[in-house]
Amino acid sequence: MRLAFPTALLAALPTALLAALPTALLAALLAATTVAASDDATKTLTRTHDPISIRGTALADLHGHTIASLRLLAVEDGKAVPIPFQIDERDEEDRIVLTDPPPGRTLDADDELVFMAADSGDRLAEGKLPGGSGRALEIEITDPLSGERGWAYLAVFGETAPPLSEKSYVHFDRVANQGRSELYSVDYDVRGNFFTGFRIATLGGGNGENLIHRTRMRGAPTFSLLLGRFEMSFTEEDSLMVLTGVKNGPVRATRHVELSVDLGGMLPQIPSGQVDTYHYRSSVVTPSKVSIPWVVLKLASEFSFVSLSDFRDVAGGMRYYDAQHPDGLEFDGHSDAVPAGVDHNWWVATGTPGTLMQVFVIPEKWREWGVVRGTVYLDEPPGAPERPSTTGTHAAGFTLEHVEDIPEAGDVELTMVTAILPRPYEPGDEKGPLSMIEKPLEISVRSLPQRTGMVQAKRE
């Protein structure tokens, strides 16, 4: 393969000579360097939704190098080019640290590398390093369903590191209380942890109209106390939310809240939880740690829960799909019968405003204990009486029944994923977001042989 600049010669130059070269000139030489790709390692990975997160413990060979000296590279058309990435620190509770790192902070086990699988590239030839780097980790990404692969390289550079990628996929605007990417924007209520708007951009297959009036929830516990039964209910308006911070990066924007539910004076502010919502280019992922107190389970004789996306009128004419309705149901103001008691973990709404998919993940042991998760499809004619859980005529969401059958108190993980599908839905399109949850990409990290005589980042 013809080289745009002889990498062997560049690697052989003495450190003193490299340091004497003008920074702009050396950076240009490094950026123009063509690298050889392995003949049998062309990128085949096609998954587009998946973010890749790698804990710092897997990056141990680069511990001690300054984060500012790191670049993430992918091989494209024979060249190693920077791709968007970020390194977030996690605290002792495994939550994202919201403050910016101090200058000169070094990589350690508490960090997390984040980038998009879609940005991976070809594999470097064995024994090669990205041009200008003295040390690097090779990250191999494998789809367990298809065997498709892609690669990225976390490399250490000296003072003449190539520029960071100019791409930035997401941003959360705390003033506007809005998360946005080039594919969507999502608005949040200023007092609660629920959506008050969702728009799918033209690039995401939509028309930019606001599709969602708000997301709603309704819990209906019945408690048995002494000789009496007390029926209660709570909605998203009863949630007590404290927005504790926001962390923006080019790949992931995190919204961090503390959440509890006010069940009245008898059982105040329970259950409670911590919610970090991650905004990526094509999805919004909310893994929630919910604490269920023993007193609730002890006293509850019945407990059901409903979470809905309450659509605006622009949803008229869209179609609803789930696993039991591969032909879809039209939002036309005429209710269709949807079987209850059947486990569902996803639904799709598709039409002119765009294609929106939601996935709801519950602990597998909940299903073993008899908790039933299902989808909800509502399609009412204009002027129909309001339901307790929605004020709109079109809605879709999830329900949980028999929550009272959970025998163990404590913390549980629940995850809601809202994904943008970039075209009108066709059966099978749900596999991408589902695979992200059910069949996550497999990651392996290995250290490449260190190059001697190159400028290295200082360790602190």
Position 106 in a domain: yes
Say yes or no: 156 and 187 in one domain: no
- Is the residue at 453 inside a domain? no
Residue 391's domain comprises 170-429
Q: Is 327 inside any structural domain?
A: yes
Is 358 part of any domain?
Answer: yes
Summarised one tens digit per residue, pLDDT across range 400-449 is 888 888 888 778 888 999 999 999 999 999 999 999 999 999 999 999 98
**Total Cβ atoms within 10 A of residue 242:** 11
Mean pLDDT of the region 387-399:
71
Asked if 77 and 155 touch (Cβ cutoff 8 Å), the reply is no
Regarding whether 175 and 42 lie in a shared domain, the answer is no
Is residue 236 located within the same domain as residue 373?
Answer: yes
Residue 352 counted as domain residue: yes
The C-alpha atoms of residue 39 and residue 32 are separated, in whole angstroms, by 21
Model confidence pLDDT, tens digit, residues 109-164: 999 999 999 999 999 988 777 778 889 999 999 999 999 999 999 999 987 789 99
Q: Say yes or no to pLDDT of 10 above 60.
A: no
**Residue 437 domain-assigned (yes or no):** no
Q: How far is CA 245 from the centre of its chain?
A: 17
238, two tokens: 């009863």
What is the Cα–Cα distance from 121 to 117, expressed in whole angstroms? 9
Distance separating alpha carbons of residues 47 and 432, to the nearest angstrom: 7
- Which pLDDT tens digit goes with each residue over 69-83? 999 999 999 899 999
> Which has the higher per-residue pLDDT, 368 or 391?
368
Q: Which amino acid is at 211?
A: L
Q: If we measure between CA atoms, which residue out of 230, 116, 268, 274 comes closest to residue 183? A: 116
Domain total in the chain: 2
- pLDDT of 143: 98
Out of 6-10, 264-268, 343-347, give the one with best mean pLDDT. 343-347
Q: What percentage of residues in the chain have a pLDDT greater than 70?
A: 79
Burial bucket for residue 189 (CB in 10 Å: 0-12, 13-18, 19+): middle
- Per-residue pLDDT averaged across 256-263, rounded? 75
CATH code for the domain in which residue 257 is found:
2.70.98
The answer as to whether 452 is a domain residue is no
User: Do 241 and 222 share a structural domain?
Assistant: yes
Q: Let me know whether 132 and 265 are in one domain.
A: no
**What's the chain's average pLDDT?**
83
Residues 41 and 176 in one domain: no
pTM of the entire structure? 0.85
Considering the domain architecture, whether residues 175 and 310 belong to the same structural domain is answered as yes
Distance between CA atoms of residues 331 and 211, nearest Å: 13
From the CB of residue 219, how many other CB atoms can be counted at a distance below 10 Å?
Answer: 21
Burial 140-167, CB ≥16 within 10 A → b, else e:
bbbbeeeeebbbbbbbbbbebbbebbee
183 in the same domain as 156: no
Q: Are 153 and 28 part of one and the same domain?
A: yes
> In this structure, are 160 and 183 located in the same domain?
no
Angle (CA) 206-52-354 rounded to 5° is 10
Residue 457 maps to a domain: no
Residues 385 and 254 placed together within one structural domain of the fold: yes
Residue that has been written with the tokens 């299903």 in this structure:
367
Residues 191 and 69 in one domain: no
Task: For residues 23 and 280, give the distance between their C-alpha atoms in angstroms, rounded to a whole number.
Answer: 34
